[in-house]
């Protein structure tokens, strides 16, 4: 007695019912969610268009402020964050620290065209796992995103950041960066959320480590060591 074979649907019939692929409806297996944080709309649009079609990325969202970044991290839980450190009125380092405090599993890559040696050192100490210049090629950008998502770090293209540089703590580097931007002790206290006496203590330690005697000399020494950029 012959048994009737079950009907096997044709592949082409199944394909007709599938929506066209986009960043948000591509199959999620082995793909990652990406958040881009930058205050320039053109940069955000360009990077999203560049990365949206990559086969290894499921979803790309953009944020132009820390508030948006915090909201999106809570809503769609990105695996990797591309972050510019320079956002008007906001301290990129504080934003990064806040994100990592709430979501310590985040893999943050600093994407900047003006980051100094001190910027990169401080970002690493806060918890960034990679640094890329904004002039980076798409292939390298995608490879770096995939690498850090897999648990690797991506600072290998940078020179030896520690070589010849006095060992400053993350907070001391932060004070030095703001010092170079002309902030007074009171300004530093407000920005960093610490008291004036604590600021003075940090300054004394910085002076000793840089072998200088004043704020002006400290800033000059920082430029000499490429710890800050103009």
Task: Give the Å distances, CA to CA, from 58 to 1, 15, 54, 136.
Answer: 50, 20, 8, 22
Do 72 and 140 lie in one domain? The reply is yes
Structure tokens belonging to residue 202: 């940090």
91, β-bridge pairs: 86
The CATH number covering residue 179 comes to 1.10.10.10
Residue 101 covered by a domain:
yes
Domain of 78 in residue numbering reads as 22-149
Residue 230 covered by a domain:
no
Do 104 and 185 lie in one domain? The reply is no
Average pLDDT, the chain: 80
Do 39 and 129 lie in one domain? The reply is yes
Do 27 and 135 lie in one domain? The reply is yes
Residue 215 covered by a domain:
yes
Residue 29 covered by a domain:
yes
- Count of domains for the chain: 2
Residue ending a domain, among 149, 183, 208, is 149
**Model pLDDT for residues 14-58, shown as the tens digit of each residue:** 333 334 434 444 444 568 999 999 988 999 999 999 999 898 999
Do 66 and 115 lie in one domain? The reply is yes
Residue 6 covered by a domain:
no
Scan for tokens 């000499």, then name that residue.
Answer: 224
Do 66 and 26 lie in one domain? The reply is yes
Per-residue pLDDT, averaged over 105-120, amounts to 83
Distance between CA atoms of residues 111 and 118, nearest Å: 15
Do 111 and 38 lie in one domain? The reply is yes
Distance between CA atoms of residues 146 and 79, nearest Å: 10
Do 30 and 110 lie in one domain? The reply is yes
Residue 133's pLDDT is what? 87
Per-residue pLDDT, averaged over 177-181, amounts to 88
CB environment 111-128: b (16+ within 10 A), e (fewer): bbeebbbbbbbbbbebbb
Do 118 and 205 lie in one domain? The reply is no
The CATH number covering residue 117 comes to 3.40.50.2300
Query: How many helices (H) and strands (E) would you count in the chain?
Result: 10, 7
Total-model pTM: 0.63
Q: Is 39 exposed, middle or buried (0-12, 13-18, 19+ CB in 10 A)?
A: middle
Confidence of residue 228 (pLDDT cuts 50, 70, 90): confident
**Model pLDDT for residues 163-172, shown as the tens digit of each residue:** 556 778 888 8
Do 188 and 103 lie in one domain? The reply is no
């Amino acid at each position: 007695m012959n048994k009737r074979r079950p009907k096997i649907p044709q592949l082409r019939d199944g394909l007709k019912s599938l929506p066209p692929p986009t960043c948000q409806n591509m199959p999620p297996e082995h793909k990652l969610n990406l958040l881009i944080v930058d205050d320039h709309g053109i940069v955000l649009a360009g990077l999203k268009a560049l990365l949206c079609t990559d086969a290894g990325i499921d979803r790309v969202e953009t944020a132009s402020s820390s508030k948006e970044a915090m909201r999106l991290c809570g809503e769609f839980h990105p695996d990797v964050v591309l972050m510019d450190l320079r956002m008007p009125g906001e301290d990129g380092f504080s934003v990064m620290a806040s994100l990592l405090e709430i979501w310590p599993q985040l893999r943050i890559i600093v994407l900047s065209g003006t980051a100094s040696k001190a910027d990169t050192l401080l970002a690493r100490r806060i918890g960034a796992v990679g640094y890329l210049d904004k002039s980076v090629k798409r292939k390298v950008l995608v490879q770096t995103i995939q690498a850090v998502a897999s648990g690797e770090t991506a600072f290998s293209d940078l020179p030896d950041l520690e070589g010849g540089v006095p060992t400053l703590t993350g907070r001391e580097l932060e004070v030095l960066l703001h010092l170079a931007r002309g902030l007074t002790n009171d300004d530093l206290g407000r920005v960093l959320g610490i008291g004036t006496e604590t600021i003075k203590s940090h300054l004394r330690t910085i002076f000793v480590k840089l072998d200088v005697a004043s704020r002006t000399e400290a800033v000059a020494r920082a430029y000499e060591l490429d710890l800050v950029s103009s």
